[in-house]
A = this chain, B = another copy of it.
Amino acid sequence: MADKPPRRPRAETPKGFRDYFGAEVTERKAMLDRIAGVYHRYGFDPLETSAVETVEALGKFLPDVDRPNEGVFAWQDEDADWLALRYDLTAPLARVAAQYRNDLPSPYRRYAMGPVWRNEKPGPGRFRQFYQCDADTVGSPSVAADAEICAMLADCLEEVGIPRGDYLVKVNNRKVLNGVMEIAGLAGDDKEAERGIVLRAIDKIDRLGAEGVRALLRGGRKDESGDFTKGAGLASEQAEVVMGFTTAKRHTGAATVARLRELVGTSVIGAEGVAELEAIAALLEAQGYGPDRIVLDPGVVRGLGYYTGPVYEAELTFEILDEKGRKRQFGSVAGGGRYDGLVKRFTGQDVPATGVSIGVDRLLAALRAKGRSAGDTAGPVVVTVMDRDRMADYMAMVGELRQAGIRAEVYLGNPKNFGNQLKYADKRASPVAVIQGGNEAAAGTVILKDLILGAKIAESATLEEWKDRPAQVEVPRADLAAAVRKMLGA
């Protein structure tokens, strides 16, 4: 009725979001299943919270976000409550631990996996929806809980295909850093902003280098684009105390502990942190997790403000080529730590908690970069349609194949052009095409075309080597499933 047709909607993913096809989905699922298996074996129970939380419950704990409430996707519902998509799996856990505190076992040990959403500027390989896979122990103040999670993290990485030697779990303790800050004159409630600047600066040491971090500890730093970032305002001597901390790693855990003990000097909180690190190292060693898997490393601080004790991070240590073809270390794929204050937000009571988050999408990218991903990419056997009036016959064939456990389908597009049917089979990575025209039907046979062998023959310079392996066979109709299975080599 209108004068011109309405504009058609654009078929586009929203900016910063993407779709995952075929093996991309099965690869991730296989990885999540493997990690869940490890978490389960360690005694963690699954929890699935909804994607939507009240903004009030989520709080403002996004890392590196100077402007709170930015960084999440939020909207106001019809009752004027603000709702938002979860930005991690820890905030919902804190809400659950508070909401069900009278019913849950204590300690409450749960794992969770699923997408989280960040309303941040998308970039190459940086999406606004990505998967996390977490395990946390809520209600245990024991460093044994932290040590266990570090061991479990190492187990998870090996389980998904990162061999020992290709990763390192690095452990540190925020209390040690707090002790160092105390010594550097950054104790006290009025210095919170400065401590935040110091934390974030140390966290960026790989990218900024020692000089960049030093600048941020002192007056500030101008980056290559000319933008100025305000520093923590430390005097030179104070800044060197903090810098000493970033380089405190020694060849053995014991030597690192000794060096840290020097650095924290008379700080009570610092000494407590060093003792905790020592205890974690001892527990891990007793279980056989040596420095080839887990090391103490004061360089690890984790940007998040809410950590209160041990922090840990898993790094992949092999080199990959970046988008510009330069070699670089793959870097961090998982991290976590102790956060004793998150549940207290709700209840007012101290609830010690510690946990890890594995960045599944990054880990998948790492495996792909090493050529080690293992998604299921075998397409279905395609039963072609030579005679559209005999669709029931072709459907009966796929029915038999499926009964025999073979992935199979009838070609459901327009059957007129047979070439299109073979092109379709090729696009689906189909291993076998089944063909039955009128002659075969009359003879009670079917033709099986080995498409994998066919593709190899097409690539090969000489046909000689293939001549004993026919890429096409005619078999009795009654032998269909058995003959296909034989061709599949199963």
Residues of A that sit less than 8 Å from B by CB: 1, 8-15, 17-22, 24-26, 29, 40-43, 45-54, 56-57, 59, 73-75, 77, 79, 81, 83, 85, 95-96, 98-100, 105-107, 109, 115, 117, 119, 128-129, 137, 139-142, 144-145, 147-148, 151, 189, 282-283, 286-288, 345-348, 376, 379-380, 382, 391-393, 395-396, 399, 402, 405-410, 412-414, 424, 427-428
* A-B CB proximity, top 3 nearest: A43-B409, A43-B380, A11-B98
Within the complex, the shortest CB–CB distance from A43 to chain B, in Å, comes to: 3
Q: Which residues of B contact A26 (CB under 8 A)?
A: 46
Contact B145 A412 (CB under 8 A): yes
Query: Contact between B106 and A413 (Cβ–Cβ < 8 Å)?
Result: yes
CB of A167 to closest CB in B, whole Å: 19
The answer to whether B392 and A105 touch across the interface, beta carbons within 8 angstroms, is no
Measured in the bound complex, the distance between the Cα atoms of B11 and A13 in whole Å is 33
Q: Among B18, B346, B376, which residue has its beta carbon within 8 angstroms of that of A50?
A: B18
CB-based contact B42/A137 at 8 Å: no
The closest CB in chain B to the CB of A409 belongs to B43
A144 to B412, CA, bound (A): 7
Report whether B9 and A346 are in contact in the complex, using a CB–CB cutoff of 8 Å.
Answer: yes
Nearest opposing residue in chain B for A95, CB measure: B11
Contact B14 A50 (CB under 8 A): yes
A155–B107 Cα distance when bound, in Å, is 42
The reply to whether B424 and A52 contact each other, CB–CB distance below 8 Å, is no
CB distance from A219 to the nearest CB of B (A): 27
Contact yes or no, B413 A53, CB < 8 A: no
A376 contact set on B, CB distance < 8 A: 40
- Specify the chain B residue showing the minimal Cβ separation from A405: B41
CB closest residue in chain B, given A383:
B43
CB–CB B73/A74 < 8 A: no
Q: Are A21 and B45 in contact (CB under 8 A)?
A: yes
Q: B50–A13 contact, CB under 8 A? A: yes
**Do residues B50 and A129 form an inter-chain contact, with CB atoms below 8 A?**
yes
CA separation between A74 and B14, bound complex, in Å?
Answer: 13
Can you sample 24 A-B contacts with CB below 8 Å? A8-B346, A9-B57, A9-B345, A10-B56, A11-B98, A12-B95, A12-B99, A14-B77, A19-B100, A20-B46, A20-B49, A40-B407, A42-B402, A43-B380, A43-B382, A52-B129, A105-B427, A106-B413, A107-B412, A141-B414, A142-B391, A142-B412, A286-B395, A287-B395
Q: Tell me if A11 and B41 are in contact (CB < 8 A).
A: no
Closest chain B residue to A48, Cβ basis:
B20
Chain B residues within an 8 Å CB radius of A51: 51, 85, 115, 117, 129
Besides the contacts A10-B57, A19-B47, what 18 more A-B pairs have beta carbons closer than 8 Å? A9-B57, A11-B98, A12-B54, A13-B99, A14-B53, A15-B81, A17-B50, A18-B50, A21-B46, A24-B48, A42-B407, A50-B129, A77-B119, A144-B391, A148-B410, A282-B392, A283-B391, A287-B392
Which among A11, A19, A73, A106 has the greatest number of chain B C-beta atoms within 10 A? A11
Q: How far is the CA of A55 from the CA of B346 in the complex (A)?
A: 35
The interface residues of chain B lying within 8 Å CB-to-CB of A100 are 19
B399 touches A283 (CB 8 A): no
Neighbouring B residues of A52 by C-beta, 8 Å: 14, 17, 73, 85, 117, 128-129
Of the candidates B11, B148, B380, B413, the one whose C-beta lies within 8 Å of that of A139 is B413
A62 to chain B minimum Cβ distance, whole angstroms, is 16
- Cβ of A57 and Cβ of B11 under 8 Å apart? yes
Asked whether B402 lies within 8 Å of A41 as measured between CB atoms, the reply is yes
Closest to A11 in B: B98
Q: Are A22's CB and B10's CB within 8 A? A: no
- Cα separation A95 to B19 with both chains bound (whole Å): 11
